[in-house]
Chains A and B, each alone.
Chain A
Amino acid sequence: MSFAPDRRDALKLLAMGATAALGACGPPEEEIVPYVEMPEGLTPGVPMQFTTALPLSGYARGALVTSYEGRPTRIEGNPRHPASLGACDIFAQAEIMTLYNPDRAKAVLNEGNLSSWEDFEKALLSQMQIERGRRGSKLTILTGRVTSPTMVRQIQALLKSFPGAQWRRYEPIHDDAEISGATMAFGRPLLPIPRLDQAAVVVSLDADPLGPGPYQLAYAYAFAQKRLARKGVIQFGRLYAVESCLSLTGANSDERLALPPHLIRGFIVDIANRLGAKLPQEALGDDASRFAAAVVEDLKANPGHGVFLVGRGQPAETHALCHWINRALKAPVDYFPPVDPVASTHVDSLRGLVEDIDNGRVESLFIIGCNPAYAAPGELAVDDAIAKVPFSAYHGLYDDETAARCKWRLPLSHTLESWSDLRALDGAVSVVQPLIRPLYDTRTAHQLLALMGGMLSASSYQLVRETLQARAPRDFETHWRQWLHDGIIQGSANAPLAPPNVTLPHMDPLQAPRGPSLTFAPDPSIWDGSYANNAWLQECPKPTTKEVWGNSIHISPSDAAANDLEEGDIVTLRRGEHSLEAPVNIVQGQAAGVLGATLGYGRRRAGAIGEGLGFDAYKLMPIGTPWAAHNVALSRTGARSTILRTQRSFHLAPERREIYPTVTLQGFTEGNIDISERRGLPTLLPEWEYDSYKWAMSIDNTLCIGCNACLVACRSENNVPVVGPIEVSMGREMHWLRVDVYYRDEPTPLGFQPVPCMHCEKAPCEPVCPVEASVHDSEGLNVQVYNRCIGTRFCQSNCPYKVRRFNFFGYATDDVYANLHAQSFDAQFNPDVTVRSRGVMEKCTYCLQRISRARRTAEKENRRIAEGEIVTACQAACPTRAIIFGDLSNADGKVSQLRNEPQHYEMLGHLGTRPRTTYLAAIENPNPALREKEE
């Protein structure tokens, strides 16, 4: 069962938490504020964990939320949930920051004036009377993608009682092409989910399964199953990527080919023809056709284990053709009935709304939890349309662009404050339970819909239970408790359908664009813009370019040279009457003739964090082909701006390869692995004696896909402060764990390497600290004692790995970006970790608080800490399980075993630092056929 205190409690507890546990020093006389009634099952200072589910574009990812005295502080993945499998992506983890965000909509506004739910109820009832009169013919509900069974039930009920009413649904990051492609191929919309863990050959055409998205964690996990090279066990697939912009999938591929969108279509046609489809051949370069040939060879060599993926950017017929190919290959793909109940495509749905409004067919408009006034193709001019509606109500988390155009602005409860239910991509249902009573006077979408239906004081809790009643007619309570405990309703996932017959689509010839194309992609850090006001995510470096606090136009080196552009030059992009100005960023691996832009920036009403950053790419988004605008005009303005990045992308000089060595799978199997490393060098310093645990971490570069989950996890677990764009530009970002990115030699473009503290046994930082703030503990941890640190910074200047972070200002407390000077943020702090003050050095502690908790528990029970009992935050979040933490003194522990792998190495081992954090070299699996021909 769940405990959720009312708001008063929450704040009292906050006070208690603050006095009892937080780093913030209170007044000379501290208070102890006990409960009046001790909530059942709660022990002050002992965290409780609850399951829930969090939506991304409507789809659920299961979560385990840690809460102290009813104060959610940390979100991790729910192992039982198919879309999270225990891992947790950056968006889910950052929901904590959204929950406590002081910019959230807090009260009902009418025409921008403070109002109340009561007033709204009155206005609503009269409006619904009118609608009832005309059977809802001028009533429209606009939502994002809705997967919540309860919400679907409620909306359908409404549509029944208002037969003329319209339900429009628009999700900015939509899958229109997938759906219509599937319809084209199978005659019905189907959702294909490739089983990457069974595919020896994966060909990704502009698709990004490893990139951000509602199913990223599941895909990444499956991918990792085919990325395993250990002594004895080798399960290793080959990933081909053909794409226009460098995606995470492309960055992790073994063979990559950069092509503009239209040539990618040509590429798949070529493949199809090689597999026996008799389609008119389309223009394709030599490289591309050679690549295609190699791919087909590879596919034929692995019958039944090759699979094609096509991205949302490709037109429907390409998707259809991809289905045909997959059937031809007997590819391991599951076909699911779509979870999304609305049939029409997102863009049509939204266009329909605009037309309705223009033709005066909408007089009451309800917009629930989506922001089309910002996140929609510019040429639709949705915001103006909305403004025309006489009675419009917006129900959202923020007072955003859409809210500004609506008569009524209704504050929406955050998912962590609501009872609801959500479905994952595969249809699995989980119950959303609140971790805290609403902080402000907000309501859930269920309550609003109930209100529209005339139910004045509906409780989401009851509504959800009514919906789910059907799933367990008998003994509901037991099931209900079980579902809440598991965070998922077992067996609620859709069964994959038997692969239906597929028809070869008719590919009508298309002409190549004359000018450059501009492609659009969700932003890896702030998705479609809905996370724009989240400081954690704004400061989360974008995986491939390490940009923060903004976006840029990505351009290929050749195009940059052609237009003599340098990084930071501001250009104007024009398409029809729409145009935008943006800085360019020269990106290796970007297809020539293609410009890449990410969505979500240039927010006009996002909040203190999100406004005025980057440029709004939606402006140029066409309605016809939403993911690529062709023939855009590019011209340089002459102005310049610096692109904020935490790291440059570069090749490692050959002699520095020991930092990030790579091994080919062939080399690995043949056993010739030359990792030039010098380990266990003699030392003059006395040896430490470790007579108990020896904590160590092992990171597999092969498995790291650079998704940043670990980085955000660390920030959230360890109260790592946000420093803001100015401080980043000074080179002072605070991430304890950074994900280094290197351009590798062709074929694979990027190598990712998470770098936490190395916890050296011969740590250079220790002997130089004059006050022993940096010390070695008896379990081999290199600990930093904040309260002893005086900030000489000798430790960092002497750290070869540069993993220490210094509080040049009071980032955690005084700085604006720490909390926007709003107390609500303090509730997010982890009470088990000191909040560091200005002038002290800090760094990765291997999540010392978790070690200590486990140690105390074990010692109370007079036993040793068991293998796997301690899971660091970064390890917990990692979808591919690239990070393993454990006890070296346990010889058959996972970490000890990994240390015996042939590709194991110590970073900068030749310095004799004896790091406890060690790595497994990246193993890549290039296609020899393609290599040879190049030489």
Chain B
Amino acid sequence: MSASNEVPAKAERWLQPPGRSYEAINELVSAPLLKRKKWSWKFWWIAFMASLALTALMLVCISWLFTKGVGLWGVNTTNVWGFAIANYVWWIGIGNAGTLISAMLLLMRQRWRASINRFAEAMTLFAAGIAGLFPILHLGRPLYFYWLVPYPNTMALWPQWRSALIWDFWAILSYILFSILFWYSGLIPDLACVRDRAKTPGARFWFGVFALGWRGSARHWQIYHVYHTTMACLGVPLVISLHSVVGLDFAASLMPGWSETIYPPYFVVGAMYSGFTMVIALAAAVRWGFSLQALITVDHFDVMAKILLAASIIMSISYMTEWFGAWYSGEHEERSLVAYEFRGHYRALYYAMLFCNCFLPQIFWFRAARRNIALVVVVGLVINIGMWLERINIVWITLSHGYAVSMWRVFHPTYWDYLLMFSSLGLFALLYLLLCRLAPIVSMHETRRLLSQEAQQ
């Protein structure tokens, strides 16, 4: 990696564009879109083909699932939930971070967000979309998923508002709509910028269409900032409510290990945790792929690693709170559940989870570790695996060790479970690669702003 390890002057931590000019930033970002010839797309094509294949596989999985039924998976009478739910929670978690980052950091005046918020928000969009898919695939009769919608019908029936799944439905729907708006509106000035730099009529036309006639007038900018900040203010509570509701899917039950008040906040942090690791991975990829070392600096990774560290500590505390709560409740079911976590059939997974989420991240106490991009990325990915393990543990352990002792059974995943899970990653990658070709992957106007702010100091 080309990252230098000494700290730049405080003012210039986040950006080192050549000549520190706005033009340089525009050039850096828009080049892949406008000067394609000058670019080697070899790795892009390799990645694209790979993800295309995985996406095709996902379609196969889904169509076979619809023809045969959820019996294809390892779900059984006791563990009626399985991968589909874990994957859903995992994806929605990743889906959280983007908006969390850009909205919350925006409100907190964390200027460095400028370089990463664009693809973080895009990540949100795609992840949330994929997440929204899993609950539908999970259904026994997926073709009736729309019964969750309160639409006028000849049965004179409504959905059941007491069910956490309905809250969930609304949470996801509103969140996806919000993310689209937030991301797209942030994109508009840049689209206009690209439109103006474009040479070919095609490019000018299409970027023009989506730039919605942005002229960059003072009034535009004024409206834009008010609007964007307002959206951010809406966004933060929305993000938090979304994952709290996901937490309620479990917390609103009475099963041991699920019905815990800690779930909503603990899920929100978990989401941010896994989300950030994904952002780090993407940041590294974008930085390398479009050689944006000037816009995404080592310091970005440094701060994000710090956030991971903080999150890992909160997660560890949450786990301990669970154990304590189980003991303090005095309910033998709760206690024996915790015992089962450590000694039961899934103990290996549970220990792996603790290692990934609690112990490994502690190396970020060391500055050197935080500033070694490769290490940060790897650790991030390991954490992300750990977060998936956490979700599957939540589902499996409680269901396998509930109140009805005679019905205790364990979950044996089938290869369909795995295929669907991995192929969904392919779809995510595919969407992402397409984005790189179609839109500026880093927010030019915000980085330009950041540059000016740095200059002023």
Contacts and interface: CB of A to CB of B under 8 A. Distances in A.
A and B touch in the complex (CB under 8 A): yes
Interface of A: 647-648, 650, 652-653, 655-656, 659, 727, 730-733, 738, 740-742, 755, 764, 767-772, 788-794, 796-798, 800-802, 805-810, 837-841, 908, 911
Contacts of A841: 140
Nearest to B138: A792
B332 interface: yes
A839 B144 CA distance: 11
Contacts of A771: 144, 147-148, 157, 159-160
B71 A767 contact: no
A732 B77 contact: yes
Interface string B306-341: 000000000000000000000000001000100000
A808 B70 contact: yes
B438 interface: no
Interface of B: 68-71, 74-81, 135, 138-142, 144-145, 147-148, 157-160, 162-166, 169, 252-255, 332, 336, 399, 402-409, 412
A478 to B, nearest CB: 53
19 contacts: A653-B332, A768-B165, A768-B253, A770-B159, A770-B163, A771-B159, A771-B160, A790-B139, A792-B138, A794-B163, A796-B80, A797-B81, A798-B255, A805-B77, A806-B77, A809-B68, A838-B141, A839-B139, A840-B140
A478 B74 CA distance: 62
Given A652-B405, A659-B405, A798-B253, A789 B164 contact: no
Contacts of B406: 647, 738, 740-742, 755
Contacts of A792: 135, 138-140, 165
Given A655-B336, A768-B253, A790-B141, 11 more contacts: A741-B406, A742-B406, A755-B406, A770-B159, A794-B164, A794-B253, A797-B81, A806-B80, A807-B140, A808-B70, A841-B140
A656 B255 CA distance: 15
Contacts of B148: 770-771, 790
Contact of A808 (B71, B253, B332): B71
A789 B139 CA distance: 10
B164 A810 contact: no
A359 B143 CA distance: 71
Contact of A772 (B74, B159, B253, B408): B159
A788 B403 CA distance: 27
A791 B166 CA distance: 14
B399 to A, nearest CB: 6
Of B68, B70, B140, which is in contact with the most chain A CB atoms at under 10 Å from its CB?
B140
Of B138, B139, B147, B405, which is in contact with the most chain A CB atoms at under 10 Å from its CB?
B405
B57 to A, nearest CB: 22
A837 B144 CA distance: 14
A801 B145 CA distance: 27
A802 B77 contact: yes
A807 B75 CA distance: 11
B160 A655 contact: no
B69 A793 contact: no
B140 A732 contact: no
A791 B143 CA distance: 11
Nearest to B146: A790
B208 to A, nearest CB: 44
A768 B78 contact: no
B70 A791 contact: yes
Nearest to B162: A767
A794 B165 contact: yes
Given A731-B77, A731-B409, A770-B165, A839 B404 contact: no
Nearest to B80: A793
A732 B82 CA distance: 14
A118 B404 CA distance: 60
B364 to A, nearest CB: 36
A770 B408 CA distance: 26
B163 A767 contact: yes
Contacts of B162: 767-768
A770 B169 CA distance: 10
Nearest to A774: B160
Contacts of A656: 332, 405
Contacts of A733: 77
Contacts of B165: 768, 770, 792, 794
B403 A770 contact: no
A911 B333 CA distance: 11
A841 B142 CA distance: 14
B253 A732 contact: no
Contacts of A793: 75, 80-81, 138, 140
Contacts of A809: 68-69, 71
Contacts of B141: 789-791, 837-840
Of B148, B164, B406, which is in contact with the most chain A CB atoms at under 10 Å from its CB?
B406
A838 B81 contact: no
Contacts of B252: 767-768
A768 B142 CA distance: 18
Contacts of A791: 70, 139-141
A655 B337 CA distance: 13
A631 to B, nearest CB: 39
Given A788-B157, A806-B140, A798 B254 contact: yes
Contact of B69 (A655, A800, A808): A808
A792 B139 CA distance: 5
Closest 6 CB pairs of A and B: A791-B140, A839-B140, A808-B71, A731-B76, A793-B80, A802-B407
A800 B257 CA distance: 13
Given A731-B76, A767-B162, A771-B147, A800 B404 contact: yes
Contact of A732 (B76, B142, B405): B76
A686 to B, nearest CB: 11
B139 A801 contact: no
